[in-house]
Structures are given as C-alpha cells and as structure tokens.
Structure 1
C-alpha cells in the first residue's frame, strides 16, 4: 500500500475529525434545577440552584427572574458552588410572592461554549 497524497490527506482529515468531535458536544446543558422546572413550591426559595452537565464560568453567566406581571425579581451576583464547578447559585434578594416565575439563564462553560434557556416554576 503506497502512501499517496490523497491517502495522507484523508487520514489527516479523519484523525482531525476524531480529535475535534468531543469539543462539538462540549456544552453546559442544564441537568437539574431548584426549584424544579414546572414545580409549585409552598415556601419561596431564597436562592436558585442550577446544575449543569459541565463546569461553568460564573463571571460570564447570568440569570434573570421575572414574576407576576413580568416584574423583575432582584437577585444577587451569581456564583459557582465552591465544591462543584457545575453548579450555579443565584441568591434571591426579595421575598417571592405567590405566582408564576420565569427563569431565563445563560452560561459559558469552562471550555468557552455558550448555552441558554428558560424554565418556569410557581410559588403557592
């Protein structure tokens, strides 16, 4: 079997694709959250906890919460759990009244990929 330029280029492309493929799927996806999506809680939470599939960069991540009548909820600075770089904690600086709440989040994973999403929960 001779090593020709087309075969070398094909082999190089194959090995490059294998090496790069895991990076394509390396995004921080929201796995769990508290309060849970679509949950109705009786006690208003004092913080949100969002767990991701990989480590996140808190300095480039954020969460916006809106409540009844689309009123913005005041939150503290987001921070990463000191013992788990996949967990984002969002302090809530005001008492949540009964009603529906929308959580709009965005994160940057430790490898630089951005993801975002939304979910709802209710306070009874």
Structure 2
C-alpha cells in the first residue's frame, strides 16, 4: 500500500513541477497583431505577456523588409506590457524578435512577422 501512495505522491510532484514551467511569461497578444497586415508603418510595436516581466534583459528588435532595424532602441516595460517606438521603415514584411525575463526569473523569447502596405 505504501508503494501506491509514494507513486501517487511522485506523480503529483511531477504534475506540479510541469505546471510551474508553464508559468513563464509567454506572448499573449501583440499590436500590430501577429501575421496581420496594416496599411501604414506603425509608430510602435506593443507586446502583452501572460505575466509581468522585468525591464532588465527584456527587449524587442524590429527589422523591415530590407533587414534594417527600425526600432528606436530600448523597450519600455510596464507590468506585462512591453513597447518600442519605430522609425518609418517602408512597406513589406516586418520581423519582430522579443526576449523577456519574467518575474519568476525565467527567460522566454520568440518572433513573429506582420505586413505593411496594400
């Protein structure tokens, strides 16, 4: 009977540990939206995450269709939101790369694109 209890306890610990890993800050939504088409180049890119993030080691870089960086530098972080202003970069595919440090001190990163122009 004890072996069944220990097995159940081990399973519970494993399930809880897996749930903790899911607590990392993941991208919830973005503006411009992921994969969306906008008529004119946006003035900024804003990302929202599933939990608050730390400003240190959190960043966004944005490049235009020519591969030129169009973000103006350091991203601003407020709670679970991170924004970076953009310079005009023309039409075509924009690439957004992000890296964040969550409040639980884990890092996550990702990327997506959006289209500018008709």
TM-score, normalised with respect to structure 1 = 0.78
Compared CA separation, residues 44 and 88, structure 1 to 2 (3 A): same
Q: Is contact 2:99–2:110 with CA below 8 Å preserved after alignment?
A: yes
Pair 1:89-2:83 in alignment: yes
Are the aligned partners of 2:29 and 2:48 in contact in 1 as well (CA < 8 Å)?
yes
Tell me which residue corresponds to 2:101: 108
Secondary structure of the equivalent of 1:58?
A: strand
Structure 1 residues 38 and 11, CA gap change in structure 2 (3 angstroms) = closer
Question: Is the 1:45–1:96 contact (alpha carbons within 8 Å) kept by the matching residues of 2?
Answer: no
In structure 1, the residue matched to 2:27 is 30
Give TM-score scaled by structure 2 length. Answer: 0.81
Q: Which has the higher helix share?
A: 1
**Conserved 8 A contact 1:98-1:122:** yes
Q: Answer whether contact 2:70 2:88 (CA < 8 A) is retained.
A: no
Output the aligned Cα RMSD: 2.2
| 5+ long unaligned stretches in structure 1 | none
Decide which structure has the larger Cα Rg and report it.
1
Q: How far did residue 18 of structure 1 move?
A: 6.3
